[in-house]
Amino acid sequence: MHVRPFFSLLTPHRHTRPPRGYAGPLGYFLLAILNALAPVAAPAQTQMFQRLSYPVVQNGKTLEYPFAGGLNAPQFSDADLNNDQIPDLVIFDRAGDVILTFLNEGTPKESSYRFAPEYACNFPPLTDYMLLRDYNNDGAADIFCASLDLSTQEVQVFKGYYENQALNFSPFLFTYPGCSSCDRRWLYYPSAIPGFWNNLFIADTDIPAVDDIDGDGDLDILTFDGAAGGHMWYAKNMSVERGFGPDSLQFVVNDRCWGLFYESGLVACENNLSPGLDSCASPFSSPGSADDRGGNKRHPGSTVMTYDQDGDGDKEVVLGDISFNCLNMMTNGGAPALAWMTAQDVAFPSYDTRGHHYFSRRFLPRPE
């Protein structure tokens, strides 16, 4: 059995578009006329299209890929698309749910990308966010993404594999002992009530972090409380601890205040930090006050990225927020097993600021 949190029942669908395949009354009327006029035994034909490209010059510069498509809300990942052991570029644009693929034909320490749209055909339909990670360390990138079911906000995983030297994907099926109603395509974690399971709810305005948070070799997930935001949840992957190695995904949520901070949303890119390891930051502590901007339930949308800034083994976190044109980097003064954010750079990177972008998403350069 599984239990859906009460807030899932109250949360509206993430989109207001009509169901897929719905043509509307006029559409069905036109289809009926076309069917009536069509020959009874028309031969089956497949129409093929060839991608065309023509020179486009802007401000005296010839654009390299003018018809690849513009980018509105892109998310960048790297993946080896053609199994040549060289990381290529994959762009997911959540404005339109578009995948763009580019092959890396460069040399070491110098990238040169060629638009290769044929590899995008191997990706599954996606929405909201896409994170390419290799959870089982087999060299083929895997996908962590939002569920396509418009009535839910689950996490779904696709396992990568190579076929004819091209990266392909198949749905990963989770295992939930004793839960006959659990959908194995989606990520659940054990409830405090034995025998019950809860879905890991991620708001469609958020992008979680998928990283090895505790340094044990398997991938964990950090995301904000899907009901109210503010505090960060830590979904720990127990695969290694249970003896399965990194090629399994078994999550538990045992920390609902990871880093001991609170994202108040009251002051631009400034969060409430806990004064010590023994307490979780309160939504009513500084900065700002709970009455400034909508009380303590304000979480319009955030993106999360983790990395080890100071090389001490634990993870710092960088947050982008839909409400502000800035980034916040919080320094982890704790340990891999007990994160504690002790300082914050509210204009990250303040040491090298080159501009801010709305609802910023952060990306780290691949080390050479």
Query: How does pLDDT run across 81-90, given as a tens digit for each residue?
Result: 999 999 999 9
Residue 353 is predicted with a pLDDT of 57
What is the arithmetic mean of pLDDT over 328-348?
95
Q: Beta strands 130-133 and 142-146: pairing type? A: antiparallel
- Four-residue CA torsion sign, 228, 233, 238, 239: positive
Max CA separation in the chain (angstroms): 77
Give per-residue pLDDT as tens, 194-203: 889 999 999 8
Under the phi-then-psi rule, with left for phi > 0, alpha for psi from -120 to 50, and beta for the rest, what region is 114?
Answer: beta
Percent of all residues in the chain with a pLDDT value above 90, rounded to a whole number: 57
The 8-class DSSP code of residue 80 comes to -
Sequence letter at residue 65:
Y
C-alpha 226/C-alpha 147 separation (Å) is 15
C-alpha 182/C-alpha 236 separation (Å) is 19
The pair phi, psi for residue 44, each rounded to 5°, is -70, 130
Residue 28 is predicted with a pLDDT of 54
Sequence letter at residue 117:
P
Dig out the tokens for 360 from the structure: 């910023």
Q: Beta strands 197-199 and 2-3: pairing type? A: parallel
Residue 32 is predicted with a pLDDT of 55
Residue 69 is predicted with a pLDDT of 83
188: burial class by Cβ within 10 Å (0-12, 13-18, 19+)? buried
Alpha helices in the chain (DSSP H): 6-10, 24-37
Residue 173 is predicted with a pLDDT of 96
Q: Please give the residue that has the higher pLDDT: either 239 or 363.
A: 239
Highest mean pLDDT, choosing among 46-55, 160-169, 243-252, 267-276: 160-169
Closest CA to 346 of 290, 263, 281, 279: 263
Give per-residue pLDDT as tens, 155-171: 999 999 999 999 999 99
**CA geometry: angle at 351 spanning 349 and 352, to 5°?**
70
Average pLDDT value for the chain:
82
67's CB contacts (< 8 A; 6+ apart) are: 51, 52, 53, 54, 56
pLDDT band at 80 (very low <50, low <70, confident <90, very high): very high
Q: Which of 100-114, 232-246, 297-311 has the lowest mean pLDDT?
A: 297-311
